[in-house]
Structure 1
Amino acid sequence: MSDWSQGYPTDSAYIDAIQTEITPWRWAQAMHFGGLSCPDPGKPFRFLELGCGSAMTLIGLAAAYPWAEFTGYDFMPEHIVMANRLIAEIGLTNIEVLEGSFAEMAANPPAEKYDFAAAHGVWTWVPPEVREEIVDVLGTWMAPGAVAYFGYNAAAGWCSLAPVRKIFRSAPMARSADERYGPARAAAQAWVDMMADGYPQMELLWNKLSEAPDHFLAHEIASPFGTGKWMEDLGRPLERAKMAFAGPAVLVEHMEALYLDAAEMDFLKKAVDGGWGETARDLLLRRTFRNDLFHRGAMKMSGPAMVDNMRGIEVVPWDPALEMGTHPSVGDQLKRGLPDDVLDGLKDLAGDGGRTFGDCMAALDVPAAQAFQVVMTAYVSGNLLDLRPEAQREAAQDGCDRFNAAMMRRLKSRKPMPGFMSPAWGGPIQFGMKAHRAVIAGEAEDSFGLADRMATLGIAV
């Protein structure tokens, strides 16, 4: 481990990933639904990513928001080289990715502050002094009213894996670079096999992690500072940057009644009344990861203003079974939804050339508040897809086409292809199933209807 690493694994680059939760268009909706104002992602803004890695998500966002300016910082030179190579390949001019530590950033605040920031997979992997530096950056780089996103490991879901973390930090590494965690993997598997009956969550997590490559495990569980955190462990330090918790970045997580039963809802209500609602949510959902928004002085938004904002959003029918990341959610934990006839009626209506959220509300013969809840349920559960205004889609089309063409070249050359960018809804999509990627590469028949769905997303392959 080199001296400049500060305990972070620097002997290999992090995975080349694209994060579907990072999109200003959806952040604005989540902020509004939580009763708070947000910088308008349809107007010029400045976006900062802390610890951007190879900047795959940031580069995609720059393609999807050509009217905005994007800056990414990472302290690993290899990441900067990878990012700038892709930027040059696509030909983007509204983004820069720079090498620098958080301490260096804090000492050199910009002349013009930022409206959005993102830090995905950073906070719970770095030592305490680096977290303090992140707070310093946010306090000096973010504008009043700005919104910051943090994606981080949640303590509730990760606590059971503590023995496996300890094994990976204690077991000797193999001499072969290709199998450096071989002894740790074997020891962890033996421990899980022996204890699984008493720790089902540990078994579930390890079964998923055990399939990951060594360079991922080096960051995820072998790093000496990697851990899970409660929201308050992040929220309290951010107060020094004048930032406050706004709520989940994922819309469905604002609607607990969709995934909690009556007893769980009663437990949550008492926890909220007692001031520890976020802890209760983590415990009830056994969260392993949190996607949270924090704001720096956002104004309160009234309920009627929030509803009016949602009414104007254009929606079209969608299919949550596609698993393309357009609706990050609690997935199979959803316990209730809409009757099939109501859902089918809404999708038929929205399929008639696309309708607004308000049109769908008006088609329901129920009071306005109930109509809003019904359409919102169809939307957050993935059965309706929101589209940006046409002018924004058109402005983003060329940049997204060039980004997606670069991803196609990767796919056809058998390199990792994290995903595409959609000009239609202003965010990245992933392909969780190999069968999807096979269809896109022209190696399998399109039994999923992907071609039509991609056209809806504004993606031409």
Structure 2
Amino acid sequence: MSAKQSGYVTDVTYPAHFHKEIQPVWLATVATLKGLQVPDIAQGYSYCELGCGLGVNLLVAAACNPLGEFVGVDFNAQHIAFARQSAEALGLKNLRFIQADFAEFAQSNALFFDFMVSHGVWSWIPASTQQQVLKAVQRGLKPKGLFYLHYMCHPGSTQMMPVQKLLNELAHSLSGTSEQNMGAGLDLLTRLDLAGVFHDQPTLSASLTQLQKMNKAYLAHDLLSDHWNPQHSVDVHRMAAQFGLTYLDSANAFEMIEALSIPQSAQALIANVSSPAVRETLKDLARSQRQRQDLFQKQPQALTAEVCVQRISQMVFELMPAAPHSGGQVFRTPIGDIDGPAELLSPVLQRLAQGPAQVAELCRLPVYAGNLPQLMQSLLLLMWRGHVHPQRPDGPANPVEAGALRSWIKQHDLKIEAVPSCGTAVVDEAVRNVQPGSR
């Protein structure tokens, strides 16, 4: 039987993953686009990740965002040891790691944060621990602070529930490591698939084929947990509301564009529904949503329309490494391929290939002619694809820390590239295309 702690796999290290959507610049940008006041990241701010794993996201954030003070919390001693050693090696003074479970942290924490995030945790912990996550956020998040929460949801994750149950039960019956047990489980699923067990579930069969290509340690953490619980998004939103958190929107840039992320045939139907809960459920059904990247705020305050437009217009965007310099794009989305026409995207890419530019300048491109909503739709698509990113508003990063981060990334063979001017990193194209797992 593989080693577990509180039902969670601990005998193999969780592979390092980077998520651009949890970085402070990204979060502040998408909340501003929703017309809300956000923490001022041009001044000092504080940030906490609950369930930080090896700390890769925080190490990038701290090295690239010198005005931020960062805290990572994880119960896994091996994860925290690696994260602390890495922070020391990088010479980061604005980052510390705390080894604690969420109940301990919720009880003992006396710090207050502008940003709190949790990715790849919620759906793999029991309901009682989910309550502790929300207690920690309720206590630690400042007014107007932003909380990002990732979780599995229905209906997209529903079909994997019996598969996960089978894999977990099989692992409990075996004596190997979690990776070995995961391999045995995948072999069994392959035999079942070849035997025609999933003949009436072609999408599940395709998912199982994809699993065979993925990292076994990653899959062990994902699929061998004793707690594997997709939820309806409206239920999560109601839970969060009980702790003083208001749902804003998805932090996923593509999902913010409902005109594209929802099938056109369903858009009018959803738009005519007055109940937010029913509308959100319909969105999940229309998208066959598998996971959510939800953004909440404590005591949200709206910007005036004039101030919102002003702040968006002042944002500066930068072209990311390896991004195209011109042309149209085909966006492979959960609801099918979407063509990004060259006449809309190419002028933006060509201008940013010359250097960063303010939204106000991009909006003056002839193809947009002052049409800010249309420009922002193009920029959101390019953000989602990893081709462009908003810059940090607080000036250059520390070149010593940025250089040390790049060396550290190379040393650990991480498939990311740091972009300090944007306070983030970009994931290599090959990695992005072959690791579509639920976390």
Interval containing the TM-score (normalised by the shorter chain): 0.7 to 0.9
Measured in 2, the distance between the counterparts of 1:389 and 1:168 equals: 43
User: Within 5 Å, which residues of 2 pair with 1:33-432?
Assistant: 33-110=33-110, 112-171=111-170, 173-177=173-177, 179-193=180-194, 194-271=196-273, 275-317=277-319, 331=333, 333=335, 336=338, 339-364=341-366, 368=370, 371-382=371-382, 385-388=388-391, 391-392=394-395, 394-411=396-413, 417-432=414-429
- Distance in 2 (CA, whole Å) between partners of 1:54 and 1:41 is 25
Q: Is the 8 A contact 1:12 1:215 kept in 2?
A: yes
Contact 1:145-1:295 at 8 Å conserved across structures: yes
Q: What amino acid maps onto 1:184 in structure 2?
A: G
* Per-residue deviation, 1:4: 8.6
1:234 corresponds to which letter in structure 2? V
- List gaps (5 residues or longer) in structure 1: 412-416, 437-461
Give 3-state SS (helix, strand or coil) of 1:86's partner: helix
1:292, CA displacement in angstroms?
Answer: 1.0
Q: Is the 8 A contact 1:160 1:201 kept in 2?
A: no
Q: Is the 8 A contact 2:253 2:381 kept in 1?
A: no
State the SS of the aligned residue for 2:73. Answer: strand
Residue 209 of structure 1: how far off its partner (Å): 2.2
Task: Give the aligned partner of residue 437 of structure 2.
Answer: none
Q: Secondary structure at the match of 1:39?
A: coil
CA distance 1:347–1:7, change in 2 (3 Å):
closer
DSSP 3-state at the match of 2:397: helix
1:403 is displaced (CA, Å) by 0.9
Distance 2:411 2:319 in 1: 30
Q: Residue type matched to 2:213 in 1?
A: E
Bigger Cα displacement from structure 2, 235-244 vs 66-75? 235-244
Q: Sort the Cα spacing of 1:198 and 1:308 in 2 relative to 1 into closer, same or farther, 3 A.
A: farther
| Superposition deviation, residue 115 in structure 1 | 0.8
Q: Indicate conservation of the 8 Å contact 1:192/1:202, yes or no.
A: no
Paired residue total: 422
State the Cα deviation string for residues 11-36 of structure 1 (Å, max 9, x = none): 22222222222111111121122222
Instruction: Give TM-score, length-normalised by structure 1.
Output: 0.83
> Once the two structures are aligned, what percentage of the paired residues are identical?
20
AA matched with 2:66: P
Q: In the alignment, which residue of structure 2 is the partner of 1:440?
A: none
In 2: Cα distance, 1:91 partner to 1:144 partner: 31
- The 3 A distance-change label for structure 1 pair 109 and 409 is closer
Provide closer, same or farther for how the CA distance between residues 198 and 375 of structure 1 changes in structure 2, counting only shifts above 3 A. same
2:296 partner SS: strand
Normalised TM-score (structure 2): 0.87
Return the alpha-carbon distance in structure 2 between the equivalents of residues 376 and 320 of structure 1: 21
Shift of the alpha carbon at 1:286? 1.9
Could you tell me whether the CA contact under 8 Å between 2:317 and 2:389 is conserved in 1?
A: yes
Deviations 1:380-429 (A, max 9, x none): 1218624425752x234432221111111223xxxxx1423211211121
Over 3 Å counting, the alpha-carbon distance change for 1:435 and 1:376 in structure 2 is closer
* TM-superposed deviation, 1:339: 3.7
Q: What displacement does 1:250 show?
A: 2.0
Distance 1:401 1:129 in 2: 42
Q: Matched residue of 2:295: which SS?
A: strand
Q: 1:419 is aligned with what amino acid?
A: I
Question: 1:161 is matched by which residue type in structure 2?
Answer: M
Residues 278 and 428 (structure 1 numbering): CA distance in 2 closer, same or farther, change over 3 Å? farther
For residue 192 of structure 1, report the CA deviation from its aligned partner: 3.5
Tell me if structure 2 keeps the 8 A contact 1:20–1:427.
Answer: yes
Alpha-carbon distance in 1 for matches of 2:260, 2:130: 34
How far apart in 2 are the matches of 1:252 and 1:313?
A: 19
**Over residues 287-307 of structure 1, what are the superposed CA-to-partner deviations in whole Å (9 max), with x where a residue is unaligned?**
222111111112012333222
Give how far 1:197 is off: 3.8
Q: CA RMSD in A?
A: 2.9
Q: Within 2, Cα distance between the matches of 1:147 and 1:311?
A: 22
Q: Answer yes or no: is the 8 Å Cα contact 1:338–1:374 preserved in 2.
A: no
CA contact (8 A) 2:170 2:181 kept: no
Specify whether residues 55 and 311 from structure 1 end up closer, same or farther in structure 2 by C-alpha distance, changes over 3 A only: same
Contact 2:147 2:296 in 1 (8 A): yes
**Greater Cα offset, 341-350 or 226-235:** 341-350
Deviation at 1:230, TM superposition (A): 2.1
Cα pair 1:261 1:335 within 8 Å, conserved: no
For the residue of structure 2 that corresponds to 1:21, the secondary structure is helix
Counterpart residue type for residue 144 of structure 1 = P
The answer to whether the 8 Å contact 1:174/1:181 transfers is no
The structural deviation recorded for 1:182 is 4.0
Distance verdict in 2 for CA 1:237–1:10, change over 3 Å: same
Q: Which amino acid aligns with 2:209?
A: N
- 1:48 alignment partner AA: C
- 1:106 partner amino acid: A
Question: What is the CA deviation profile of residues 155-193 of structure 1, one whole-angstrom value per residue up to 9, with x for unaligned ones?
Answer: 221111122112112225544436223442222223344
* Matched-pair contact (CA < 8 Å) for 1:316–1:347: no
Q: Matches of 1:163 and 1:435 in 2, distance apart?
A: 27
Deviations 1:296-345 (CA, angstroms, capped at 9, x unpaired): 112012333222211112234569977xxxx9x87464655554234333
Contact 1:23 1:61 in 2 (8 A): yes
Moved more, 418-427 or 289-298: 418-427
The answer to which structure has the higher strand fraction is: 2
Q: Please tell me the residue identity of whatever aligns with 2:136.
A: V
Deviation at 1:62, TM superposition (A): 0.6
Whether contact under 8 Å (1:403, 1:420) holds in the other structure is: no
Aligned pairs for 1:4-19 within 5 A? 5-19=5-19
